[in-house]
Amino acid sequence: MRLRYNFRLSPTAGQRQALAQAFGCARVVFNDGLRLRQDAHAAGLPYISDGDLPKRVITEAKKTPERSWLDEVSAVVLQQALADLNTAYRNFFASVSGKRKGPKLAAPRFRSKKDNRQAIRFTKNARFSITAGGKLRLPKIGDVPVRWSRDLPSEPSSVTVVKDAAGRYFASFVVEVVKQSLPPVEAETGIDLGLGHFAVLSNGWKIDSPRVLRRAEKKLKRLQRALSRKAKGSNNRAKARKAVARQHAKVADARREFHHQESTKIIRDSQTVIMEDLAVNGLARTRLAKSVHDAGWSAFVDMLEYKAALYGRTFHRIDRWFPSSKLCSACGARAESMPLNVREWTCPCGAVHDRDINAAINILAAGWAERLNTSHTSGRDGTRRPGGGPVRPPLAVAQPREAGSRRCAA
């Protein structure tokens, strides 16, 4: 499987200027290609093919005085900019025709030099390389120092140089990674994501939410107020904008580190991981939007999924409408309603449930049922899927590793 390895770059002043020139040339070529196709469409002319577009936007444009400076950067950078434009058009057409799943995609838009993220890509044709001294050699840019945090598992097929809103430079390598096998374990884990606790596992472990954005709000408000007082277009406003961007980058980095640590622990200790298919886009439109974005559930679930595939574990998602909180994990009875303020409830069978732990146990049971094609309650109306096997997991002897609780358990 292919993965991306990101490393921080420390370009010199001259290299930053060369990178800025490459960012600008790639942006101009992308916009020229987009404008050419839009003009052809408005004039009723045929769609300009992927093969003809580079000839007109790069090869012929370099011969004109207006675009002669395109020859000062690597040709691969310009070709990859048009490749991104072609991909954007293909995705747009597939979305309009219904061949692409998910939300509808808009047509490609023009790039701006004021965009928060600037990027260029080098493929093997560009002959980029890593020198004996550990620097990244880029054509027409030079040997850029890299802050290596780990070794690359294989030779990279491409590298993308990114400049983020905080002014930091990164090299993103695409490498082929051989799937690894962790020692097999017997534990199977159901996970219920939430806001009170970031995640609750079916074995009773609770992971506290870091709330990195909430904790940084005071400083962010101060920096944003300072930004609002600066005159537009001034150097002081540019400095204030970068200070805000740096603080947001710290928040994002802290959240990503938390996701990596917790997802690695779960994959290492569980043979099978089962979760709900959450509708994050819908939750992000409610009054809980800030907390939902602060939790970053989608990124966490994506990490679990790719790490499970990488290390030979099983990852499964159940239907988002499965009533995990309303079902009793002991007898299977379903409560009529379960408001969010109810954190603990008692079933008529006498079982006392912690809402989140009970939901995680039910998620694990539903995942077993779906994998074994057995019957289980699903959907808003409580219908049962075909099958006939048991829904709840059978009783089992507790493992020694399950004794006690995690340090962050509530």
Parse the chain into domains and list their residue ranges.
Answer: 2-176, 188-208+268-402
CA distances to 15, 165, 171, 299 from 161, in Å: 12, 14, 5, 22
User: What is the rounded distance in angstroms from the CA atom of residue 313 to the CA atom of residue 288?
Assistant: 33
Which residues lie below 8 Å from residue 292, measured CB to CB, with a gap of 6+?
195, 280, 283, 284, 286
Residue labelled with tokens 């009793």: 328
Contact 11, 137 (CB under 8 A): no
- Residue 264's nearest CA partner among 295, 294, 300, 292 is 300
User: What is the rounded distance in angstroms from the CA atom of residue 183 to the CA atom of residue 371?
Assistant: 22
Tell me the sheet residues that pair with 123: 158
Q: What is the pLDDT along the chain (410 residues), one digit of tens a residue?
A: 899 999 999 999 999 999 999 999 999 999 999 999 999 999 999 999 999 999 999 999 999 999 999 999 999 999 999 999 999 999 999 999 999 988 899 999 999 998 989 999 999 999 999 999 999 999 999 999 999 999 999 999 999 999 999 999 999 999 999 998 899 999 999 999 998 899 999 999 999 999 999 999 999 999 999 999 999 999 999 999 999 999 999 999 999 999 999 999 999 999 999 998 888 888 888 888 999 999 999 999 999 999 999 999 999 999 888 888 888 988 888 888 888 888 888 888 888 898 899 999 999 999 888 877 654 444 444 444 444 344 444 444 444 444 444 444 33
Q: Which of 32, 262, 305, 356 is catalytic?
A: 356
User: What is the rounded distance in angstroms from the CA atom of residue 91 to the CA atom of residue 349?
Assistant: 53
Tell me the sheet residues that pair with 170: 8, 162
User: What is the rounded distance in angstroms from the CA atom of residue 276 to the CA atom of residue 158?
Assistant: 35
- Residue 76's nearest CA partner among 141, 143, 165 is 141
Question: What's residue 404's pLDDT?
Answer: 44
Question: What's residue 325's pLDDT?
Answer: 87
Question: What's residue 34's pLDDT?
Answer: 97
Tell me the sheet residues that pair with 130: 136
pTM of the full structure: 0.84
Question: Would you mind telling me the total number of residues written for the chain in this entry?
Answer: 410
| Residue 89 burial class via C-beta count within 10 angstroms: exposed 0-12, middle 13-18, buried 19 and up | middle
- Residue 123's nearest CA partner among 161, 168, 151 is 161
Amino acid at position 164, single letter: D
Q: Is 192 a catalytic residue?
A: yes
Tell me the three-class secondary structure of the chain, residue by residue.
Answer: CEEEEEEEECCCHHHHHHHHHHHHHHHHHHHHHHHHHHHHHHCCCCCCCCCHHHHHHHHCHHHCHHHHHHHHCCHHHHHHHHHHHHHHHHHHHHHHHCCCCCCCCCCCCCCCCCCCCEEEEEEHHHCCEECCCCCEEECCCEEECEECCCCCCCCCCEEEEEECCCCCEEEEEEEECCCCCCCCCCCEEEEEECCCEEEEECCCCEEECCCHHHHHHHHHHHHHHHHHCCCCCCHHHHHHHHHHHHHHHHHHHHHHHHHHHHHHHHHHHCCEEEEECCCHHHHCCCCCHHHHHHHCHHHHHHHHHHHHHHCCCEEEEECCCCCCCCECCCCCCECCCCCCCCCEEECCCCCEEEHHHHHHHHHHHHHHHHHHCCCCEECCCCEECCCCCCCCCCCCCCCHHHCCCCCCCC
Question: What's residue 373's pLDDT?
Answer: 65
User: What is the rounded distance in angstroms from the CA atom of residue 137 to the CA atom of residue 212?
Assistant: 36
Q: Which of 32, 188, 276, 294 is catalytic?
A: 276
Q: Which of 192, 262, 294, 305 is catalytic?
A: 192
Question: What's residue 33's pLDDT?
Answer: 97
- Residue 163's nearest CA partner among 14, 32, 8 is 8
End-to-end Cα spacing for the chain: 38
- Residue 143's nearest CA partner among 15, 235, 36 is 15
- Residue 399's nearest CA partner among 187, 184, 183 is 187
Residue labelled with tokens 């886009």: 281
